[in-house]
Amino acid sequence: MNTIYILWLRQLKRYSRSKSRIIGSIGQPLLFLVALGFGLGPIFKKAGGGNYIDFLAPGVIAQGILFTAIFSGIELIWDRQFGFLKETLVAPVSRFEIILGRTLGGATIATIQGIIIFALTLLVGFKPYNLLMLPLVLIVMFLTSLLFTALGTAIASVLDDMQGFQLIMNFLVLPLFFLSGSLFPLQGTGFLAIVARFDPLTYGVDALRSSLSNIAQFGLLTDLTILGILTLVTLYIGSFLFSRIEI
């Protein structure tokens, strides 16, 4: 447990020292909120969709969590290239504790990122329908963060090149985001709605939208169940791939 705590704390210290990273990671969500929220808001309302900010805000929060969580895997490659990972691997602790500590640290950072973006949505006019749901919102944020941090770490475990990781992540992250229904309703989209069911971020977005805006497609219980199962599976795969890293 001490190893998990130390690695978790180390990830948080890295994040707190990088002010440019904090500022940079909120730029894109803020752009989506302002440009799309106010640009497409009148059109969305005329189409009978209601307030677009209320629909868009949960998707933008999920976007911020996705990008922060999945790109935390690059730190594993960084540590491998500069020898820090070797010092951790030779320690008399199980590799599962190492991967769990790193994943929990990355998930905590992504959750903090989600909270920051949630505060930004309030500034642009988003109003949660029920403040009593906020504790559940935090749970959904953390579960989504844990899933994609584990995914990023799993992919980083089989790579040793930062450029290769960035290319793969860009190829993976953008489809995950745009196919999740973060920016548009999935109802009536035909084949796209079927594809979205295979996107794990879809269930994170739907859970956030259900708890923040009372708009749900699959239902909160279904979302949480699928997120939980996917998180456990991804953690297992990630720990297996990490255990195969050679010193």
Q: Could you identify the residue written with the tokens 């297992």?
A: 236
C-alpha to C-alpha distance for 30 and 95, rounded to whole angstroms: 38
C-alpha to C-alpha distance for 70 and 76, rounded to whole angstroms: 12
Q: How confident is the model at residue 224 (pLDDT cuts 50, 70, 90)?
A: very high
> Which domain covers residue 101, as residue numbers?
2-243
| Lookup: tokens for 145 | 């963060």
pTM: predicted TM-score of the whole model, two decimal places = 0.89
Q: What is the mean pLDDT of the chain?
A: 82
CA atoms within 13 A on the CB side of 21: 16
pLDDT per position as a tens digit, 79-97: 777 666 666 666 666 777 7
Beta carbons within 8 Å of 229's beta carbon, 6+ residues apart = none
| Lookup: tokens for 31 | 């752009």
Whole-number CA gyration radius for the chain: 18
pLDDT at position 101 is 81
pLDDT per position as a tens digit, 147-192: 999 998 888 888 777 777 777 777 888 899 989 988 888 887 788 8
| Total count of domains within the chain | 1
Residue spans of beta strands (DSSP E) within the chain:
none
Whether the CB-CB separation of 95 and 89 falls below 8 Å is answered with yes
Q: How confident is the model at residue 246 (pLDDT cuts 50, 70, 90)?
A: low
